[in-house]
Structure 1
Amino acid sequence: MNPATFMQQFGPIIIIFAIFYFMIIRPQQKREKDRRNMLSNLKEGDEVITVGGIYGKVLNIKDDVVTLDVGDKIKIKVSRSAIGNVIRKKNGNSAEEER
């Protein structure tokens, strides 16, 4: 099989894979990296929202368990992976200002 025939047969498949990589796989990997970074930098005093939509302030972090103050002396414990987004860091900056 000569190189021209090979490129005619497998060229479109290679191009489609490259398009999938740069449009789907690579952005997803970046989002996952950003999420892991956000969860690892989580600190007491940060205001967060869980994936279930609960707003709270981080009171305590122990291993994979995060204790949130959700208001009126109500505290809940959630898994660290249940934190969806940091709204405001302890020092007062919003999560958007830190990017």
Structure 2
Amino acid sequence: MNLLYLFGEAAANGQGEGGWQVILFYALFLVAIILAFYFLAVKPSKKEEARRKAITDSVAIGDSVVTTAGFYGVVIDMVEEQNIVVVEFGNNKNCRIPMKKSAIVEVEKAN
């Protein structure tokens, strides 16, 4: 509404010839804001998503992993169709928990 008011004022004051310059300025300003949003928000998000996908795709049996909850464990079994891994926690090897691959944030490959 304010932009239309400014265009009307410019035309009323005899400055109608420069109106296209104002429109061009606002159009370029809008394009600059959209590009800034893309490079500051969307692109880094896609890069992080690709990094996390690479981590979850590289998980194999015997790898040491860290989960989103901060637990350290070793992958002992995988169900690829459901993206589920069974992780063994603790020194006594009695705690085995199935979890989604997406819950893994770090992977250290087995030797």
Q: TM-score, normalised by structure 2?
A: 0.72
Residue in structure 2 matching 1:65, options 71, 74, 84 = 84
Which amino acid in 2 is paired with 1:36?
K
- Identify, as 1 or 2, the structure richer in strand: 1
Q: Does residue 85 of the first structure (1) align with residue 102 of the second (2)?
A: no
Secondary structure class of the residue paired with 1:7? helix
How many pairs are equivalent? 89
Q: Determine the C-alpha separation between the residues in 2 that align with 1:23 and 1:65.
A: 33
| Larger of the two Rg values belongs to structure | 2
Runs of 4+, deviation exceeding 4 Å = none
TM-score by length of 1: 0.80
CA contact (8 A) 2:55 2:105 kept: no
Name the CA distance, whole Å, in 2 between partners of 1:62 and 1:89.
Answer: 19
Question: Using the alignment, how far apart are the partners of 2:26 and 2:86 within structure 1?
Answer: 57
Deviations 1:23-78 (A, max 9, x none): 11101100001111111111111111111111101111112111111121221111
Calculate the aligned-residue CA RMSD, in Å.
1.6
